[in-house]
Amino acid sequence: MTTNFNEGGYAPAFMKSRENLRKLEPQTISERSLCKYLNDCFRIESFGQLIEITYPEGQIITQGSNNPALDQRLLLLNYLSYSKNVPFSGQWVSYRDLPHGNVFYLNIKKNVINALGDFFSSCNNVILRQSLTEGGFTLLPAKADIAAKGFFTPRIPILLQFWEGEEDIPSTCQILFDSTITEQMHIEDSAALCGIIKNQVISQYNKALR
């Protein structure tokens, strides 16, 4: 079990997020986030991993050795005070389709989308499918060579799609969100989430290779 991390340059952002958390009652947070509140802790399942966040301190507790990175921990903490009781739209959209998504899109395309496409071109598809399911994703039938749905938080589903390249066409990847993600996190957090998803996919795959 791990509770204490050196939050370094993220410390001011964690402090602000904890202030926002304390402004809300536990019942309100639980209803908005769909996270259970028990024994002074909110329980969030993220990519198949159970994470607890204490209230009102906002300390993050993880089980085992698979500790989420600081950016993921911050986004989970932010989610508790930002999320809203809004049903899914069922409309899948890319980051670029979100309001103001064009601000960070070129960076996301280069460092996340293209990077995952390059990764897919050289990975073992059987192991990737296995690692995705072990990382909390569900494989789906689709036109893509591999499609998988997972949840960063109960109100933030993610759809991953991978296509194998042909001749001069490189392998590609697409990350899609339910359009209601704009109600569940700030646009800058959504940009950070794209990077977290990339790291989750690749790290889980490398773990499956061992």
pLDDT at 210: 84
Measured CA to CA, the distance from residue 43 to residue 52 in angstroms comes to 5
Rounded to two decimals, the pTM is 0.94
What is the predicted pLDDT for the residue at 64?
65
d(CA 124, CA 64): 27
The span from the CA of 170 to the CA of 156, in Å, is 29
Return d(Cα 86, Cα 33) in angstroms, integer: 10
Give the type of residue at 193.
L
Look up residue 97 and give its DSSP letter: G
Could you tell me what percentage of the chain is helix, strand and coil, using 3-state DSSP and rounding each to the nearest 5? 45, 25, 30
CB 30 within 8 A of CB 37: yes
Measured CA to CA in angstroms, residue 36 lies from 113, 116, 125, 168, 184 at distances of 33, 33, 35, 49, 17
Mean pLDDT of successive 10-residue segments in the chain (210 residues)? 70 97 98 97 95 96 81 97 98 96 94 98 96 96 96 98 91 97 97 97 94
Chain Cα centroid distance, residue 96: 17
- pLDDT at residue 8 in the model: 86
Q: State residue 88's pLDDT score.
A: 98
